[in-house]
A and B are shown apart, each in its own frame.
Chain A
Amino acid sequence: NAGVMQNPRHLVRRRGQEARLRCSPMKGHSHVYWYRQLPEEGLKFMVYLQKENIIDESGMPKERFSAEFPKEGPSILRIQQVVRGDSAAYFCASSPQGQANTGELFFGEGSRLTVL
């Protein structure tokens, strides 16, 4: 099992461009979470998705950010019209379907976004 796969690992964008971050969960996992880590801060929850459904997006900024987890393919976190404040590490995590909350999330290596 290759674990949670995120790509790209590093992404550089200029202000106003779009950023797309992809996440493939571990095999057999159907729950995906996105977390953001700003410099000098801890990870902050953004969104929780299951296949074709957004379950909890309470941590997502109201504008420019969106996430999806289609029936086929990876989960995608999309940031439109990026600004310098979007520069951060974005982590994806997954957990198995039907598992009661044990708190065990399986994390990817993260995608580091730099906005020039």
Chain B
Amino acid sequence: AQRVTQPEKLLSVFKGAPVELKCNYSYSGSPELFWYVQYSRQRLQLLLRHISRESIKGFTADLNKGETSFHLKKPFAQEEDSAMYYCALSKMGTSYGKLTFGQGTILTVHP
């Protein structure tokens, strides 16, 4: 069975500080990893996916298969980054969006 763990329920940083949201996964096959974000009063939306190797809103995430991690990082946090962040996993090659989500991390960026 697959599992996604986000060890931090709450994370607080000050504006301009680096931020790292941790995500660890357990899966026997080849996973695809994603980060979803939910801003206040908005819907859950995709932030980035590991296969794209892209930076979105200054965030990056590297899949580390050795450590089974997919931590989300940003060098300089902004107040508008305050949101709930979910790490999610799916089976590589799955033709539909059956995702396993972590419990989520609430990020608060203080001015």
Contacts and interface: CB of A to CB of B under 8 A. Distances in A.
Given A40-B103, A42-B86, A101 B43 contact: no
Interface stretch (A7-15, A64-72, A75-83, A105-113): A105-113
Tell me what chain B mostly uses at the interface: helix, strand, loop, or mixed: loop
Interface in B68-111: 86, 88, 90, 93-104
B96 A95 contact: yes
Contacts of B43: 3-4, 106-109
Contacts, number: 65
30 contacts: A33-B96, A33-B98, A35-B101, A40-B103, A42-B4, A43-B44, A43-B86, A43-B99, A44-B101, A48-B98, A55-B96, A56-B96, A56-B98, A91-B44, A100-B95, A101-B32, A101-B94, A101-B95, A101-B97, A103-B32, A103-B34, A103-B49, A103-B88, A104-B46, A104-B97, A105-B46, A105-B97, A106-B45, A107-B44, A107-B45
How many interface residues does chain A have, given as a range? 20 to 34
Interface in B23-82: 32, 34, 43-46, 49
Contacts of B97: 31, 33, 48, 93, 95, 101, 103-105
